[in-house]
Structure 1
């Protein structure tokens, strides 16, 4: 009699999607009047490169080696400018936020600027693709007369590639403190039908690119009029005590850069933006 061998159907457990996680940390100190690296730590997909140091401080380039962000990715940056130093931080490329099928990607940045120091946080654009979801938080702690320059450019799709962000979410939070006292807070929430919301005249008037610039410094009032002279008609500028806040909406990323670059150069005392902005 022929024997039959019963075999159970083969089942495969669905492996969880791999998530990008990383943390990077940089600290600089002043030695003999020169800004020098004191601490560097990189883990996971967060990579850090140091271009040739210039006489006016240390430049840092941040890299997300995963190539972009999607559901449940988690990146954390910690940057510290020690007393009487100058630290400039940018990104090697635009950060990309792709369609998320789960919880939003998370990006947390902490900047600490000690007495007499200056930190320029000038990353390239964050591109939100259709279905992208991002929760982002920026925390800044300033001591005494420390200075900080912040720019966060955003693109909702790339017009040159005929891309649009139709739906998704962006939750963006800024908390800026001086000597422990809150001096500035930003909150942006876009959720659901992003395309329709951006089309509203009360929101973006169909603009697909936006940027916020903040300069907190005892020199803010003295620079306010000069910034106005270098600003285009698409830019709004406000002065609050010791800080300048600039808002810009533009048709696309090209127009956005053209509008904000003269303002950033003015706030950087005439210095060009990091070379990675031109690569």
Structure 2
């Protein structure tokens, strides 16, 4: 293994299906779980009084090598509330030429809530990575989620000099496209150093939040965003917030993964309290 380049790597094909429903015990349960390959649920937890189901997804290889194909499908049924996270950073390893692919499909029913909170993904030099995420929400569904990318291993001052990265994310509600984000860059791409791109920063994060139906008033959302902007200012973090319709979008650009996670966690906490009447309740795995 040189620079985490698996010359004789046998590609992994893995998939995971999860289905959440509201039970008679006043909590959300993981009613459906099916996996193939090295992708599975480590544990389901219920740390909150209101029965939110916290689930930890693990991928024992800890990353994606060339030729790997991973698929995650999540369905959250009406009245359910699921929170999904990972135990640590994911990694896109260097490749000999094959593409590593990840496909994520999240579906949330009416009056259901999904919090999609994976930890950061690291892009190694010479990785060839394609990631596609589709989020489909019913009319009154709620979603809070993020995507954090770290370009190169910061501990080694690694640059992304070869390979390429492609990421597509779309959010649909009631079969209408709310938001679409697309990113593509190659090794030594000008975009990595341009002031219109990464501006020589290593960490890029995006948070997306869709409020409950009754909270989608534009004036109320603008007040909420002003409160979040003040919070980010007090935390002195490079986060910018905007509203696209009723979709709240936060962007981080900097060099500190922990700073990005802390800022996004603070935004999530405010949204939870304002929209759902819930405490912050960080995933337990983040505290270990």
Matched, 1:204 2:198: yes
Which residue in the other structure is 2:164 paired with?
A: 169
Which residue in the other structure is 2:94 paired with?
A: 99
Please give the TM-score of this superposition, normalised by the length of structure 1. Answer: 0.88
- Unaligned 5+ segments in structure 2 are 1-6, 274-278
Deviation per CA, 1:169-214: give whole Å up to 9, x if none.
11111121111111111111112324x4312111021110010000
Larger mean Cα displacement after TM superposition, 269-278 or 243-252: 269-278
Runs of 4+ in 1 over 6 A off after TM superposition: none
Deviation per CA, 1:186-244: give whole Å up to 9, x if none.
111112324x4312111021110010000012335263233222224511111122210
Out of 10, 16, 37, the residue aligned to residue 18 of structure 1 is: 10
Task: Tell me if the contact between 1:168 and 1:193 (Cα under 8 Å) persists in the aligned partners.
Answer: no
Matched, 1:50 2:30: no
- Counterpart of 1:231 in 2: which secondary structure? helix
Which residue in the other structure is 2:30 paired with?
A: 37
- Unaligned 5+ segments in structure 1 are 1-14
Matched, 1:278 2:287: yes
Which residue in the other structure is 2:276 paired with?
A: none
RMSD between aligned residues: 1.9
Out of 235, 238, 246, the residue aligned to residue 234 of structure 1 is: 238
- Counterpart of 1:223 in 2: which secondary structure? helix
Q: For residues 166 and 256 of structure 1, what CA distance do their matches in structure 2 show? A: 24
Q: For residues 287 and 123 of structure 2, what CA distance do their matches in structure 1 show? A: 21
Q: For residues 153 and 187 of structure 2, what CA distance do their matches in structure 1 show? A: 19
Task: Tell me if the contact between 1:158 and 1:252 (Cα under 8 Å) persists in the aligned partners.
Answer: no
Which residue in the other structure is 2:254 paired with?
A: 250
- Counterpart of 2:45 in 1: which secondary structure? coil
Which residue in the other structure is 1:11 paired with?
A: none
Task: Tell me if the contact between 1:155 and 1:252 (Cα under 8 Å) persists in the aligned partners.
Answer: no
Deviation per CA, 1:4-45: give whole Å up to 9, x if none.
xxxxxxxxxxx9741011101111111234212210112101
**In 2 relative to 1, CA 30–263 (structure 1 residues): closer, same or farther, beyond 3 Å?**
same
Length, aligned pairs only? 264
Q: For residues 57 and 208 of structure 2, what CA distance do their matches in structure 1 show? A: 20
Which residue in the other structure is 2:267 paired with?
A: 263
Deviation per CA, 1:227-273: give whole Å up to 9, x if none.
22222451111112221011110123233234333223222334143
Larger mean Cα displacement after TM superposition, 120-129 or 266-275: 266-275
Task: Tell me if the contact between 1:158 and 1:253 (Cα under 8 Å) persists in the aligned partners.
Answer: no
Please give the TM-score of this superposition, normalised by the length of structure 2. Answer: 0.85
Bigger radius of gyration among the two: 1
Out of 69, 72, 81, the residue aligned to residue 67 of structure 2 is: 72
Deviation per CA, 1:77-129: give whole Å up to 9, x if none.
01111101100000121110110112321000111100001000000000001
Larger mean Cα displacement after TM superposition, 97-106 or 248-257: 248-257
